[in-house]
């Protein structure tokens, strides 16, 4: 069998901390190696003595869990961090993932599910509460523009995102640069922007193109 999964907990609430430790330590195959009440002490300690999976609370005084992950991952890129939260705040989810978390769970999960999540994270998965996963997946889907772009316009917008200019777009689409200009002008109108960079930024952020 595999050796026990080494787990660490960073959580400011005393009761929750103790409860989670009990769950983890009371289960075969899991071993709660370290427990901290904040990132200030926890992160340096984990850097010294790494574990497999870290359960990190999001809302903590002093330093947020998001900053904590960023710090920790900078030193230990391979550690698997699962974020824990009470409210599924949109911003926090994406900020956490960007900072390097591999999972995101809402608190109050049944012990079995928590353990399964830890195991999944350890084996290269990304445990997420259903609603969180849906948010993440939905973020891939294109936002419908209020004033939708025509086929040609989308095509040109994609080329703009690759940094192409009037001339190269014109030759690759077999049209004149003047036509390209006209299309781009229409794109600006529809996207409500005035420069290439802004158009590209909006296009990629709103996933109008991939």
Q: Where do contacts with DNA occur on this chain (CB under 7 A)?
A: 150-153, 165-167, 173, 175-176, 178-179, 181-185, 188, 194-197
* Beta carbon of residue 82, minimum distance to a copy of itself (angstroms, whole number): 11
What does 201 bind: a copy of itself, DNA, none (CB cut-off 5 to 8 Å by kind)? a copy of itself
CA distance 110 to 119: 14
* Beta carbon of residue 151, minimum distance to DNA (angstroms, whole number): 4
- Asked if 112 is part of the footprint of a copy of itself (rule: CB under 8 A), the reply reads no
Q: How is 23-80 classified by DSSP, letter by letter?
A: HHHTSTTEEEEEEES-HHHHHHHHHHS--SEEEEES--SSS-HHHHHHHHHHH-TT-E
Tell me the Ramachandran region of residue 182: left when phi exceeds 0, alpha when psi lies from -120 to 50, beta otherwise: alpha
- Asked if 204 is part of the footprint of a copy of itself (rule: CB under 8 A), the reply reads yes
- Asked if 108 is part of the footprint of a copy of itself (rule: CB under 8 A), the reply reads no
CA distance 64 to 172: 49
Tell me the Ramachandran region of residue 108: left when phi exceeds 0, alpha when psi lies from -120 to 50, beta otherwise: left
Q: Which is nearer to a copy of itself, 11 or 95 (CB)?
A: 95
One residue of 16, 161, 173, 175 binding a copy of itself per CB under 8 A: 161
- Asked if 194 is part of the footprint of a copy of itself (rule: CB under 8 A), the reply reads yes
- Asked if 125 is part of the footprint of a copy of itself (rule: CB under 8 A), the reply reads yes
Q: Which is nearer to DNA, 4 or 179 (CB)?
A: 179
Tokens linked to 39: 């990132």
For residues 110, 35, 130, 142, the Cα torsion angle rounded to the nearest 10 degrees is 180
Stretch that binds a copy of itself, among 26-34, 105-113, 170-178, 194-202 (CB under 8 A): 194-202
Instruction: Supply the DSSP symbol for 195.
Output: S
What does 97 bind: DNA, a copy of itself, none (CB cut-off 5 to 8 Å by kind)? a copy of itself
CA distance 189 to 181: 12
The interface mask with a copy of itself, positions 25-64, x = CB under 8 A, is ----------------------------------------
């Amino acid at each position: 069998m595999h050796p026990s999964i080494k787990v660490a907990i960073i959580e400011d609430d005393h009761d929750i901390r103790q409860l989670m430790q009990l769950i983890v330590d009371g289960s075969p195959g899991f071993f709660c190696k370290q427990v901290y009440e904040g990132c200030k002490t926890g992160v340096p300690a984990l850097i010294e003595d790494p574990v497999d999976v870290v359960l990190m609370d999001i809302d903590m005084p002093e330093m947020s869990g998001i900053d904590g992950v960023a710090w920790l991952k900078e030193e230990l890129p391979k550690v698997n961090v699962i974020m824990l939260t009470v409210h599924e705040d949109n911003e926090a989810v994406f900020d956490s993932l960007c900072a390097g978390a591999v999972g995101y769970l809402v608190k109050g999960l049944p012990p079995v599910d928590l353990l399964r999540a830890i195991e999944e994270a350890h084996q290269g998965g990304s445990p997420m509460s259903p609603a969180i996963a849906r948010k993440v997946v939905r973020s891939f889907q294109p936002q419908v523009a209020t004033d939708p772009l025509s086929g040609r316009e989308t095509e040109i917008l994609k080329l703009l995102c690759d940094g192409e200019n009037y001339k190269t777009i014109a030759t690759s689409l077999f049209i004149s640069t003047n036509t390209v200009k006209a299309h781009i002008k229409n794109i600006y109108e529809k996207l409500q922007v005035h420069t290439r960079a802004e158009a590209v930024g909006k296009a990629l952020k709103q996933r109008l193109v991939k």
